Amino acid sequence: MFSFFRKKAPPPAAPETALPAAVEPAPVATVPAPAAEAPAATQAQEASAVAASAPRAGWLDRLRAGLRKTGSSIAQVFTGTQIDDALYEELESALLMADAGVKATEFLLADLKRRVKDAKATDPAQVKALLVDAIADLLRPLEKPLAIGEHTPTVIMVVGVNGAGKTTSIGKLTRHLADAEQKVLLAAADTFRAAAREQLAVWADRNRVEIVSQQSGDPAAVTFDAVVAGKARGCDVVIADTAGRLPTQLHLMEELKKIKRTIGKAQAGAPHEVLLVVDGNTGQNALAQVKAFDDALQLTGLVVTKLDGTAKGGVLAAIARERPVPVYFIGVGEKLEDLQTFSAREFAQALLG
Ligand SMILES: Nc1nc2c(ncn2[C@@H]2O[C@H](COP(=O)(O)OP(=O)(O)OP(=O)(O)O)[C@@H](O)[C@H]2O)c(=O)[nH]1
Ligand SMILES: [Mg+2]
């Protein structure tokens, strides 16, 4: 489940240099849209964010179960009695096997050795706890809530390779937004397959939100129409679902750039979010996808799906080290509550079993 957290607006007379107000939880039902006449600075402060709340326990169990294989192979390293070169070598292999990649693995090992020295640790179990800290610190820059309410509508473009979980994640996110009284409009910009439009329409129906789609045609045109309609209808959020594609299909990447540019023509400054959905099972290839889509579209966030399967999880360390695009959500199943916000520490703990 998600709840909304709204940044408290400072009093109107607050000086320009005032520190940003603390984020405080607000009941879901009381999230207002920013007043149209509010000055820009106040509107920015009115931004609300989608953040996770209880119950997270069941979800964490699924994440842990999904990452169990990685967890047990890393945990294995700490079953000995000594902290020696052999331990670090085994750990290096385990991290590489977990898809952490060479750079993040080297970084984590050096960081861990420093922590072990500082803590004067003598027991491998202590080293394991220090590794959780090291991974959590490495992943922390990826923690960021998705802000809604700063723009009306907030336009979100969702991209990724085929079958990554884009449409499913949009469906889940839409439901949470709709539950939080946000007016959502979906744009069926996956115009390649009729089935894709139908799949999104099912989610729209289920969530009782509107959808803009066309029988066939140009995905940029569908998205343009959707953003214009979203503005006219006073929607809070417009989400564009795009067709899956490989970053090596250059003409299809050009098409995504065109969709992005077209959204900007429909609403200046939009899209506010360009989200890449990556399948957590794709290992190091996920990092390649992040780099390629980021180069083409300047991503603002990631959704990492299918962490309930056979995902190894370490690739998030590689992403944090090499292309730190924030992880807004992670998916641990096909049910609605299986889309959760990302917590670096929870993830680090799940990763180590
Ligand atoms: N186990 C699991 N399955 C998921 C998750 N997210 C999505 N799926 C499944 O992955 C499959 C593909 O999901 P879609 O949402 O259709 O993927 P897509 O990226 O929209 O696919 P295309 O539009 O064909 O590119 C579906 O069977 C989903 O139910 C997840 O977090 N865990
Ligand atoms: Mg899809």
CATH number reported for the structural domain that contains residue 123 in this entry:
1.20.120.140
| Distance (Å) from CA 308 to ligand 1 centroid | 12
In the predicted model, what is the mean pLDDT of residues 277-285?
Answer: 93
| Same domain, residue pair 237 and 186 | yes
pLDDT of 142 higher than 60:
yes
| Same domain, residue pair 116 and 185 | no
**Chain segment 149-198, per-residue pLDDT in tens:** 999 999 999 999 999 999 999 999 998 898 889 999 999 998 878 888 88
Atom of ligand 1 at shortest range from CA of 305: 31
- pLDDT score for 288: 96
Residue 289 falls within a domain, yes or no?
Answer: yes
| Same domain, residue pair 128 and 202 | no
Number of structural domains the chain divides into: 2
pLDDT of 289 higher than 90:
yes
pLDDT of 140 higher than 70:
yes
Atom of ligand 1 at shortest range from CA of 190: 23
Domain that holds residue 66: 58-141
Domain boundary among 111, 141, 171: 141
Greatest mean pLDDT among 21-25, 252-256, 335-339 lies in 252-256
pLDDT of 57 higher than 50:
yes
Task: Indicate the pTM of the whole model.
Answer: 0.87
For every residue of the chain, which 3-state class applies, written as one string? Answer: CEEEEEECCCCCCCCCCCCCCCEEECCHHHCCCCCCCCCHHHHHHCCEEEEECCCCHHHHHHHHHHCHHHHHHHHHHHHCCCCCHHHHHHHHHHHHHCCCHHHHHHHHHHHHHHHHHHHCCCCHHHHHHHHHHHHHHHHHHHECCEEECCCCCEEEEEECCCCCCHHHHHHHHHHHHHHCCCCEEEEEECCCCHHHHHHHHHHHHHHCCEEECCCCCCHHHHHHHHHHHHHHCCCCEEEEEECCCCCCCHHHHHHHHHHHHHHHHHCCCCCCEEEEEEEHHHCHHHHHHHHHHHHHHCCCEEEEECCCCCCCCCHHHHHHHHCCCCEEEEECCCCHHHEEECCHHHHHHHHCC
- pLDDT score for 27: 27
| Same domain, residue pair 136 and 154 | no
| Same domain, residue pair 75 and 101 | yes
pLDDT of 5 higher than 70:
no
Atom of ligand 1 at shortest range from CA of 163: 21
Residue 106 falls within a domain, yes or no?
Answer: yes
| Same domain, residue pair 159 and 230 | yes
Domain boundary among 100, 118, 141: 141
In the predicted model, what is the mean pLDDT of residues 255-260?
Answer: 97
For ligand 1, residues with CB inside 6 Å are 160, 162-168, 190, 196, 244, 277, 305-306, 308-309, 331-334, 338
CATH number reported for the structural domain that contains residue 268 in this entry:
3.40.50.300
Residue 18 falls within a domain, yes or no?
Answer: no
- pLDDT score for 33: 38
| Same domain, residue pair 115 and 198 | no
Hey, whose CA ends up nearest to atom 21 of ligand 1? 163
Domain boundary among 141, 162, 197: 141
| Same domain, residue pair 326 and 184 | yes
